[in-house]
Amino acid sequence: MKSPHDLVRLIAPVVVLAAGLVLWEAIVRAYDIQPYVLPSPLLVLKTLVNDWGVLSQSLGITLLTTLEGFFAAAIGGIALALLFNQSKWLEYSLFPYAVILQVTPIIAIAPLLLIYLEQQTAVIVCAWIVAFFPVLSNTTLGLNSVDRNLAGLFQLYGASKLQTLLFLKLPAALPYILGGLRIAGGLSLIGAVVAEIAAGSAGAGSGLAFRIAESGYRLNIPRMFAALLLLSLAGIVIYGLLALVSHLLLRRWHESALGKES
């Protein structure tokens, strides 16, 4: 049974959202604001229903790109972090370049990638670039944060490097890895959106971000808001699913998850 505090946490955001939508609708009606300036929430919802065929297809393309970039970032980031943990020389040699890749604005990289790579491949690479560093850095931090006393105990009992990695370092780093994946999920969507907008400006593309740019050019602002709504919902669902996976994996032993159930 949920406590009153839990019910407040669930109800309060819903109340704020409902109040904001009502205020938005009232302002549009009171000032007779035209749809090409600011559409009302009801018009956005109507547009979402009417244009669902086009928007849903574009949403599917964007989600597929996001998932491909996310899984590439997850596999690559965790694998490289494991290599860094086994070889400090490798970490010292390559980690600075991962930082450079992270701090370079993806909006500046996307047009170059679209020149040298096939369009869909370039969009996936953009999603991968943005999502890669959080997984790499969090996993590296987790593997390097193992309790020294436990590491010494494993060494005392003659555990091999592989045994230490599998039974000590990876379990200890799991909360860090899952935290990095939660961040990477949203960032991969951002990377895909940025790349799709760049592809749209180059005269190609069919993802949801391209529909937003296209609607802006045509002053079809209600469709733009509907597409933005879908993108926001997609980001929320991605984060929620990753948070659920994290909770299920940590709930029986890690303090961050145990505290939620107490």
Domain edges within the chain: 1-33, 39-261
262: tokens are 């107490």
CA gap 212, 223 in Å, rounded: 7
pLDDT, one tens digit per residue, over 186-244 is 999 999 998 888 877 555 567 888 888 888 888 899 999 999 999 999 999 999 999 99
| Number of H-type helices and E-type strands within the chain | 12, 0
pLDDT, one tens digit per residue, over 85-102 is 988 899 999 999 999 988
| Region label for 219, one of left (φ > 0), alpha (ψ between -120 and 50) or beta (otherwise) | left
Q: Homologous superfamily of 39-261 in CATH?
A: MetI-like (1.10.3720.10)
- Average pLDDT (136-148) is 91
CA gap 173, 254 in Å, rounded: 11
